Amino acid sequence: MISADLNGKCVLVTGGLSGIGLAAVKTFAACGARVAVNHLPNDPATKQVLDELNQDGYLIVSAPGDVSDPDQTETMVEQAIETLGRLDILINNAGTSNTREPIAFDDLDAMSEAFWAKIMQTNLIGAFRCARAASPALRSAKGAIVSTASVAGLGVPGSSIAYGASKAGLINLTRSLAHALAPDVRVNAVAPGLVRTPWTDPWPDERKAQTIANCLL
């Protein structure tokens, strides 16, 4: 477990109910931060996960909202900041592959307009919406933004062409926001390889092995 003194710091983690997002929530909270956990408004796992986090003594608040929806995103960020009282760190983790299993790159017919729209609205534009809404509070706090990209955005085959493109866009967005918000806000991204989560569990073993082989570490 990462150890740091984050007492007094306030964090918003989007997509925080499972996988990498939930791990981030637990880590920040264990280090003393107050954490707003963003989740889909009707996610059935919400109550159980938040109850377990609060039972562990963590300082957790709920921040419902779908980042693919512009109105919900702005309201979610504003309410999270109001509840926390400030915002020091934004973790742009909410994302979707929009598929349970990888889609072959040569299956272009599977890349429908609706498929592209869902992925880009969540993975790329949603991250921008959150950053834009949070930027005044982050500037005041001299805070930071960290976005969850992917090795799929660096050329390693991901779950689909659209997913890889969205993560490549997120990496570029990170660079642009770093310039736009400097020197008040630090903006970075991490690009994980294959991580065992409910997303990747259904993947064929062959595809998992291929993805791991294409990663540097």
Which are the catalytic amino acids?
163
78-114: b (≥16 Cβ within 10 Å) or e? ebbbeebeebbbbbbbbbbbbbeebbeeeeeeebeee
Amino acid occupying residue 141: A
Q: Which long-range contacts (CB under 8 A, 24 or more apart) does 191-195 make?
A: 191/149, 191/150, 191/151, 191/153, 191/154, 191/167, 192/20, 192/148, 192/149, 192/150, 192/151, 193/151, 193/156, 193/217, 195/19, 195/20
Separation of alpha carbons 43 and 28, rounded Å: 22
Nearest in space to 87 (alpha carbons), one of 95, 78, 96:
78
Separation of alpha carbons 126 and 120, rounded Å: 8
